[in-house]
A = this chain, B = another copy of it.
Amino acid sequence: MSKVRVAGFSVSMDGFGAGLEQSLKDPMGKGAMPLHQWLLKTNFFRKMFGQDDGTIGVDNEFAVKSQENLGAWILGRNMFGPVRGPWLDESWKGWWGDNPPYHVPVFVLTHHARKPIVMQGGTTFYFVTDGIESALKKAKEAAKDKDVRIGGGVSTVRQYLKAGLIDELHLAYSAVFLGHGENLLNGIDFPALGFKLAERVATEEATHIVLKKQ
């Protein structure tokens, strides 16, 4: 059955999913790059850049699973890019170049309408201006029987969590304390939202946690 998933989502030991002051230079916000160390080392990630090296253990398995059976993605505006406010022109097409690593329809939450952008490799960016539920409806239709992945950022995941719209999360806790930034966990009561711990595997790089709604 089609699920709405968060997967491969890195958090610090103090609950931050991104740093502050996101910019073209710091797409994850300041100081947040080490959060993703577990992923950057994997064969899965290296392959995206045409390399066939990288680790193939548990971290890689979680990375591979994060991408399996996906029919659509939803991204917050800030995850799509550093541009704020109205789109000044059509030049920004995401962080990922001409052939983004999605290969399915991607729905971008924004307050500012924009025409869809057809990219190479099957990715099309659609811009949704009428809220998270509308975006999810569109994403589910596009995904058919496959899963919808809520890609992030932190604010987008929190909005979908609070609305009770997420079925499953995979969080990767990295051995990093950010101290400040965008906190994923503050005020999020997973048990009250109906989640149970389904899996916990620790590697050298991360403590992987899977929460599922029951």
Contacts from A to B (Cβ < 8 Å)? 13-15, 171, 173, 175-180, 185-186, 188-192, 195, 197, 200, 202-203, 207, 209, 211
Contacts and interface: CB of A to CB of B under 8 A. Distances in A.
A189 B179 contact: yes
A200 B12 CA distance: 13
A122 B192 CA distance: 44
Q: How many copies does the complex hold?
A: 2
Contacts of A190: 14, 177, 179
B209 A13 contact: yes
Nearest to A200: B175
A185 B185 CA distance: 11
* Shortest beta-carbon contacts, A-B, top 7: A202-B202, A179-B189, A175-B200, A179-B191, A177-B190, A207-B207, A14-B185
